[in-house]
Structures are given as C-alpha cells and as structure tokens.
Amino acid sequence: MLEAFLTFINQQKLDLSTKSTLLAVSGGVDSVVLSHLFYRAGFKAGIAHCNFGLRGNESDEDAKFVMQLAADYNFPFYTEKFETKEFARSQGISTQMAARDLRYKWFEDIRVKYHFDWLATAHHANDSFETVILNLVRGTGLAGLHGIAAKNNILIRPLLFASREQISDYIQDNQLFWREDSSNESTNYKRNLIRHEVIPVFKKMNPSLETTFGTTSQRLNSAEILLEDFLQTWKKDVVRIKDGEIYIPISIIKISQEPEYRLWFILQDFGFSYSQAQEVYKSTEAISGKIFYSVSHKILRDRDAFIVSAKKEIVVDEILEITKPDKEHRIGQKILAFNSFKRSDGFVIDRTPGNAYFDLDSLTFPLNIRTWINGDVFCPFGMGGKKKKVSDLLIDQKLSMNEKENVKVLLNGNGDILWVIGFRIDDRYKIEDNTSNIVHILCAEQ
C-alpha cells in the first residue's frame, strides 16, 4: 500500500517530500493509516487533533491516544478542546456542522501559525462515493458527481486511492492500534445510513465498486473541465459590464441550446441556485420589471437584458450629517456643494438640473442625507403645498429600478424632506420674495 500511496501522490502532483503537512488525526482507522504512511515515507508532518467533547471520557481518551501516536512518530502535536454543542446553539446550526466549522478554522490557524504547507485529511475512496450518493439525494450538478477532490488549494486527501477494505487490511497487516468512534455505527447520521445500508447493496451488484467509481469519477471530472472551458469562452462573448452591473442579453439566452443551464452558469457566481435560474429564465415570457434576489445580489428583468447588481442595503438612519451650509459633501458618485449668502439685487436662480435653493432661516441644522424609502412624502415645488409620495415622483421621472435605489433625500432637522436630490425641492422651503438669507446646493457628478 505504501507504493500505491506514493504513486497516487505523484499522479496528483502533491509535493510532500519537500513541503510540510499538517495531518488531521481523529485516532480512527483512516487517520491512523494516513499518519503511518507519512511516517514510513519520511515526509515532514505534524498532527492536529480536535476534541469536540461529544462522547465524554471517550473523547478525552481519543486525545490521549493521538498524542501518544504523534510522540511515537516524532511528529509535533497540537490539540484543542471545543464547546461544540454550545457553539452549535449560538450559531443555530447542527452539532455536525458546528464541529466541521470549528475544526477547519482551527486547522487553518495551526497550519498558518506553525508554517505547514498542506493540510491533509484521511478521506478515502468510499468517503468519496458516499459523498456522491449524498449529493444525488440532495440534488446536484456535474461537480457533485465526481466526488471528493484530491487537492483543493492547501487541502489534500492522499488516501483517495484506497478503499475502506484496503485500509482495514493495511492496519491489520501492520498491527496498528486505533480508536473506534461509537457514533460511526449509528444510522441516525445520513452518511452512516448510506455506509451501512446502501453501499452493501451496490457492492452486491458490483464487487469492484470503488475501482469502477474511480474511473467514472475521472471521466466526469474531465467532462466538467471541458464544459467549464467552453462556457467560460461563451460567457465572455455574451456578458457586458457597465458601471459595475452585469448585463445578460435576453435574446442571446433564448436562442441558445440549454438556455437555463447557460443562464445558471453565469448567475452562480452571484449566489443564485439552479432553481432560481430556472425562475429567472421563465420571466423572459413575462413583462419587464420583475426582480430576483440572492443573498448578495439582485437581478432586474429589464426589457432587453437581465441586469445583475450587488444588493444595496436601504439605510433608514442618517448616512450623512450636515452641520453647516458651507462645505462639500460626497454621496456615492456625486458631490453636494453648499454655499450660503445674503440676497443681493443681482441675484438670479440657476434653474438647470442639479441646483437647489432654500430659505436659510427656515432650515434647522443639522441636516441629514439618506436613501429614500417607501412611505416618504413631501410637498413638491410648484404643487401649491400638495403632498406627493417620493416613489410616485420617481415613477414620473421614468427611472429604472436600479436608478431608483441610488436616489437620496435631503432632510431638514425637523424630519421634513427638503429635496429629492437632483429632482425636486419641497415647496415649503423655497425662496420667497422676502427671503434674505439663501442656501444654494449644487449636485454634480464626480
């Protein structure tokens, strides 16, 4: 098995002879074999063990066993005990997920602190096949069908060449000791259910299951690489970027083969699932204006394109406080220049867009600037004091959904809207014939 181990490492181009590796060792069969192979090969390594405290004294005994194993091989030893259940409760996640998050974060901290080049886990061929079955149950694409990768950045799995039976034979032949995790027998966990009840059925149908799966996995991985290369080239020809937004022409998507899959290929980078991409594609038969959201982005179904942009948090609280009417203030891509002065005989109002004038004595400082929100109401200039919703004003201006999101309002100290910036001031704060002190605000692009 040592020869097969070294052959696999060479095939995967894992440089273990000149670089150091942090081994994740639980004390179970797989990680004990991994440690022994590293020891026999003479590779530079350290051992890291997580004590999750989930099995009481049994967990503590595991830690002692792994510490002795590291001493026997003269490997540096690192361990940490976690309050796993408490962490799971605080994060609102399962105990299994909590243990995974805790260990990988800690492994990376140790790897960086002690200058290890690699982090190695003891995943083997059966683990990879079990992962594929789990992915099929949950729903997956090509990436979920070729199992676990031998290398993912600094994370490596040098035992993927070996089956569970080969590992068991190796540990018996070399008379190695290991710790048995009692939870491995419980079928309450999905992976254990697959391991103990599903895989044996497949093995009856194909005793060489691991070998067959290994070949299939390689072919699927190659197919995914080729498809990725083709779609990346296609995406570069299709997608346009303007002012930080992604434009996907609807006409090109509709005439393409497998349009939903192609659309998902573009949208996956922005947090959209395949089912969401299907819903987005269905909107090509509907009127424009529909919006779809992922955690980080949104898609506007415009007339001719899907427009992808980062979600912007609507800020209700002040985003900018103005204490004096004599400074410049930056808001997004615009500059607001304030200038206060006494009215003179030659005073003329500049009525070009972007200019606003107010009666200084009617203002209460500090003024505030924030994003407009639904429900905002003001009295637009020229309407004789009648109220109007800001949202209705923006509809009148025929702004797109994305343009609307960038609109800001200037607030008086009493909370009234003074100006829907760049569009209309409030009639109550306009300059009157008897106004003597004036504030001029110029809104200009940077």
Q: Name every residue whose Cβ is closer than 8 Å to that of residue 434 and which is 6 or more positions away in sequence.
A: none
Range of 96-110, 178-192, 316-330, 338-352 with top mean pLDDT:
96-110
Q: Which residue has the higher pLDDT, 304 or 324?
A: 304
State how far the Cα of 288 lies from the Cα of 290, in Å rounded to an integer: 6
Q: Over the range 272-291, which residues count as b (16 or more CB within 10 Å of their CB) and which as e?
A: bebebbeebbebeeeeeeee
| Extents of the domains making up the chain | 2-219, 239-310, 320-445
Alpha-carbon distance values, 274 to 47, 142, 311, 376 (Å)? 40, 12, 19, 37
| Cβ atoms of residues 315 and 370 within 8 Å | yes
Residue 310: pLDDT over 90: no
Q: Name every residue whose Cβ is closer than 8 Å to that of residue 56 and which is 6 or more positions away in sequence.
A: none
| Cβ atoms of residues 289 and 301 within 8 Å | yes
Residue 212: pLDDT over 50: yes
In this prediction, residue 188 has a pLDDT band, given cuts at 50, 70 and 90, of low
Q: Which residue has the higher pLDDT, 38 or 319?
A: 38
Using a pLDDT cut of 70, give the percent of the chain over it: 96
Tens-place pLDDT, residues 271-297 = 898 999 999 999 998 888 888 888 789
pLDDT at 53: 81
Q: What is the mean pLDDT of residues 426-442?
A: 92
Residue 313: pLDDT over 70: no
Checking phi first, is residue 256 left (phi over 0); if not, alpha (psi -120 to 50) or beta? beta
Reported pTM: 0.61
In this prediction, residue 314 has a pLDDT band, given cuts at 50, 70 and 90, of very low
Lowest mean pLDDT among 29-38, 127-136, 175-184: 175-184
Write the single-letter amino acid at 83.
E
Other beta carbons within 10 angstroms of residue 426's beta carbon come to: 23
Residue 318: pLDDT over 50: no
Q: Which residue has the higher pLDDT, 143 or 103?
A: 103
- 3-class secondary-structure state, position 77: strand
In this prediction, residue 316 has a pLDDT band, given cuts at 50, 70 and 90, of very low
Give the CATH architecture of domain 2-219.
Answer: 3-Layer(aba) Sandwich (3.40)
pLDDT at 444: 86
Extract the runs of DSSP E, i.e. beta strands, from 203-277. 240-242, 245-249
pLDDT at 315: 46
Tens-place pLDDT, residues 60-82 = 899 999 999 999 999 999 999 99
State the chain's mean pLDDT as an integer: 89
Strand-pairing partners, residue 442, are: 337, 355
Nearest 5°: the CA angle 135, 162, 186 is 55
- Strand 355-359, strand 245-249: pairing: unpaired
Residues in the chain, total: 446
pLDDT at 173: 94
Extract the runs of DSSP E, i.e. beta strands, from 144-213. 151-152, 155-156
Other beta carbons within 10 angstroms of residue 88's beta carbon come to: 18
| Cis-peptide into 353, omega within 30 deg | no
φ, ψ of residue 327 to 5 degrees: the values are -135, 170
Residue 172: pLDDT over 50: yes
Residue position matching structure tokens 């083997």: 124
Tens-place pLDDT, residues 12-62 = 999 999 999 999 999 999 999 999 999 999 999 999 999 988 877 888 899
